[in-house]
Amino acid sequence: MVKRAFFTIPLCLLLIGVIVASFVLMGMKPETGKVSQAQRLAEHTKPAVVRIIDYAIVGWQFNNPNDPEVDAILAQLNYQSVVGGSGSGAIISSDGYIVTNAHVVESTQLEDTDIANVAFEQLVGIMADYFQVDYNTAYDYMLTYTQYTGIQRVLKVILPGGDILDGEVKSYGAPVNEGKDVAVLKIEGKNLPTLKLGNSDNIQNQDNIWVSGYPAAADSELLSPDSSLVSSMNAGQISATDKKTEQGSPVIQINAAATHGNSGGPVINEAGEIIGLLTFRGDTVNGQEVQGFNFSVPVNTVKEFVNQAGAKNTGSDTDRLYKEGLELYWGGYYKNALDKFEAVQRIYPNHSEIKKFIANSEERTGDSKTLWSDYKTIFYIVDGVAGLFIIILLVFTFAFKPKKQAAAVAAAPAPASTPPPTPQSTIPDLNNDGKIDVQDIILALQEQQKKQEKKNDE
């Protein structure tokens, strides 16, 4: 056993080392320490942040044929006024539910007469500026000769990938100056990128946050048309958690920069969760907006309207595959990342970021690291074989002992026993005649002594 152990025990230890090494390799995760938290959040968030366009088109009829100048201006406007604006929102379910502000979609929620009044005031302002008359004079004149002929409501959601879809309001709170500034929209879609709703009860002053959306200040004629599809993200902190509107609705004060167009955009925490929706900015000073004093609706208020709409905050396979691909990409596993990104493209072709990452991954496949966890099946087979060998070696070492020689001899069949031959006496029969002959005895003893000496010499 000792001789065997010198060979088998080191071999068992080697096989155990192979098994341990395989589990270590399988458990290795991509190292992404060089990627900042802000960069990670930005890439995770962008695909689910949308631009919302909400407006109403009001048609006009001018009834003074004696005023061709006003009629000419109306003709340039195609006898129409457009009332509305744009904002931001976030997709919260893979089937297309979106959260935003109520005031972002207010234009299509107003009554016809309210829309017409807003559009008429806008038209009066145009005429007053053009003819250089005071507003009231222009108002009275246009009220006499103008009437609206129809109203067309338009609510569009522009996805980061460029798709423009019809939106439908499923639940609606109230604009910012009336109460809870929340609306939930629905678009048609599947496998859409999403963001998770967090818990605003857990926030604290000075928590790091990021505001994502489509600020109008970031739009410029100098930028390409595609740039309007790219959301912006600004960092900041929570400044106050206990403030309320005049109507008693809670709001969160933040210091991240934001402006027109950001309304309805998500406020993201360090975990990548929505903790609020940007709703309004602080008062102006000398007619100028002061940055760093913005407010958001807490996400727990948003959840009330999500429930009213019958929506579920569910993620998608698109989210999972995209995030897995990003971690692999940032870790240098470009071949494996490419597989994930291509899987995203198959189930959601219009993903805003996927073409970029596919192209970058293809360019870097030559520098790709090996992801050992992809070889789990092979490792399991090797570990199984190694484990079997360990068992065999241990049994060989300790279970089978060599048989003793005595046992082997004892086990051999014994030969048939025969009685030993009867020894013959070297002393002659002294009693042949019944008499003792001393001379014969002496001769016999001498003869026996010679034989003994001869035997000793041999």
In a domain, 427, yes or no: no
Say which residues have a Cβ less than 8 Å from residue 293's Cβ, sequence separation at least 6: 239, 253, 255, 281, 282
In a domain, 330, yes or no: yes
Q: Is the pLDDT of residue 432 over 60?
A: no
pLDDT of 171-220, one tens digit each?
999 876 666 899 999 999 999 999 999 999 999 999 999 999 998 765 65
What pLDDT sits at residue 371?
Answer: 57
In a domain, 250, yes or no: yes
What pLDDT sits at residue 286?
Answer: 40
Looking at the structure, do residues 390 and 329 belong to the same domain, yes or no?
no
Residue type, 278: L
Looking at the structure, do residues 227 and 162 belong to the same domain, yes or no?
yes
Q: For residue 261, what pLDDT band results from cuts at 50, 70 and 90?
A: confident
Instruction: Note whether 169 and 104 are within 8 A (CB).
Output: no
Say which residues have a Cβ less than 8 Å from residue 265's Cβ, sequence separation at least 6: 49, 87, 88, 89, 90, 211, 212, 213, 214, 231, 258, 277, 278
Domain boundary among 354, 370, 386: 370
pLDDT of 134-164, one tens digit each?
999 999 999 999 999 999 999 999 999 999 9
Instruction: Measure the CA–CA gap between 334 and 368, rounded to whole angstroms.
Output: 5
Looking at the structure, do residues 18 and 45 belong to the same domain, yes or no?
no
What pLDDT sits at residue 249?
Answer: 83
In a domain, 418, yes or no: no
Q: For residue 296, what pLDDT band results from cuts at 50, 70 and 90?
A: very high
Walk across the sheet containing 80-91 and list its strands. Answer: 164-166, 146-158, 49-62, 80-91, 97-100, 183-186, 168-172
In a domain, 403, yes or no: no
- If you search the block for the tokens 């379910």, which residue do you land on? 93
96-100, 136-140, 403-407: least confident range: 403-407
What is the length of the chain?
Answer: 458
What pLDDT sits at residue 391?
Answer: 76
> Which CATH number covers residue 128?
2.40.10.120
Domain boundary among 308, 340, 359: 308
In a domain, 366, yes or no: yes
Looking at the structure, do residues 215 and 353 belong to the same domain, yes or no?
no
Looking at the structure, do residues 220 and 299 belong to the same domain, yes or no?
yes
Q: Which residues of 366-381 are buried (b: 16+ CB within 10 A; e: fewer)?
A: eebeebbeeeeeebee
Q: Is the pLDDT of residue 5 over 80?
A: no
What pLDDT sits at residue 396?
Answer: 61
In a domain, 173, yes or no: yes
Looking at the structure, do residues 247 and 321 belong to the same domain, yes or no?
no
* Three-state secondary structure string covering the chain: CHHHHHHHHHHHHHHHHHHHHHHHHHCCCCCCCCCCHHHHHHHHHHHHEEEEEEEEEEEEEECCCCCHHHHHHHHHCCCEEEEEEEEEEEECCCCCEEEECCHHHHHHCCCHHHHHHHHHHHHHHHHHHHHCCCHHHHHHHHHHHEEEEEEEEEEEEECCCCCEEECEEEEECCCCCCCCCCEEEECCCCCCCCCEECCHHHCCCCCEEEEEECCHHHCCCCCCHHHHHCCEEEEEEEEEEEEECCCCCEEEEECCCCCCCCCCCEEECCCCEEEEEEEEECCCECCECCCCCEEEEEHHHHHHHHHHCCCCCCCCHHHHHHHHHHHHHHCCCHHHHHHHHHHHHHHCCCCCCHHHHHHHHHHCHHHCCCCHHHHHHHHHHHHHHHHHHHHHHHHHHHCCCCCCHHHHHHHCCCCCCCCCCCCCCCCCCCCCCCCCCHHHHHHHHHHHHHHHHHHHHC
Q: For residue 289, what pLDDT band results from cuts at 50, 70 and 90?
A: low
When divided into structural domains, the chain yields a total of 3
What pLDDT sits at residue 28?
Answer: 59
Q: Is the pLDDT of residue 93 over 80?
A: yes
In 10 A of CB 177, how many CB atoms?
Answer: 11
Q: How far is CA 434 from its chain centroid?
A: 126
Angle between helices 37-45 and 317-330 in degrees, nearest 10:
150
Q: For residue 117, what pLDDT band results from cuts at 50, 70 and 90?
A: very high
Say which residues have a Cβ less than 8 Å from residue 80's Cβ, sequence separation at least 6: 57, 58, 59, 60
Q: Write out the two tokens for 289.
A: 């907006």
What pLDDT sits at residue 258?
Answer: 84
> Who has greater pLDDT, 423 or 106?
106
pLDDT of 223-235, one tens digit each?
666 777 788 899 9
Q: Write out the two tokens for 26.
A: 């399988």
> Who has greater pLDDT, 389 or 272?
272
What pLDDT sits at residue 365?
Answer: 86
What pLDDT sits at residue 409?
Answer: 45
240-249, 255-264, 301-310, 429-438: least confident range: 429-438
Say which residues have a Cβ less than 8 Å from residue 105's Cβ, sequence separation at least 6: 52, 54, 87, 155, 167, 169, 172, 183, 185
What pLDDT sits at residue 366?
Answer: 84
pTM assigned to the model: 0.74
Looking at the structure, do residues 262 and 207 belong to the same domain, yes or no?
yes
> Who has greater pLDDT, 116 or 457?
116
Residue range of the domain that includes 115: 40-308
Looking at the structure, do residues 268 and 237 belong to the same domain, yes or no?
yes
Looking at the structure, do residues 113 and 48 belong to the same domain, yes or no?
yes
What pLDDT sits at residue 369?
Answer: 79
Q: Write out the two tokens for 420.
A: 């030993």
pLDDT of 320-336, one tens digit each?
999 999 999 998 899 99
Domain boundary among 264, 289, 308: 308
Looking at the structure, do residues 339 and 390 belong to the same domain, yes or no?
no
60-69, 284-293, 438-447: least confident range: 284-293
Mean pLDDT on 287-299? 74
Q: Is the pLDDT of residue 288 over 90?
A: no
pLDDT of 48-91, one tens digit each?
999 999 999 999 999 999 999 999 999 999 999 999 999 999 99
Residue closest to 62 by CA, chosen among 8, 4, 119, 142: 142
Instruction: Note whether 361 and 329 are within 8 A (CB).
Output: yes
In a domain, 429, yes or no: no
Angle between helices 112-131 and 135-145 in degrees, nearest 10:
120
What pLDDT sits at residue 75?
Answer: 95
Looking at the structure, do residues 150 and 288 belong to the same domain, yes or no?
yes
What pLDDT sits at residue 224?
Answer: 65
Burial class (CB in 10 A: 0-12, 13-18, 19+), 284: exposed
Percent of the chain clearing pLDDT 70 (strictly above): 71
How many CA atoms does the CB half-sphere of 304 hold within 13 Å?
Answer: 12
Average pLDDT, the chain: 82
What pLDDT sits at residue 2?
Answer: 60
Looking at the structure, do residues 352 and 392 belong to the same domain, yes or no?
no
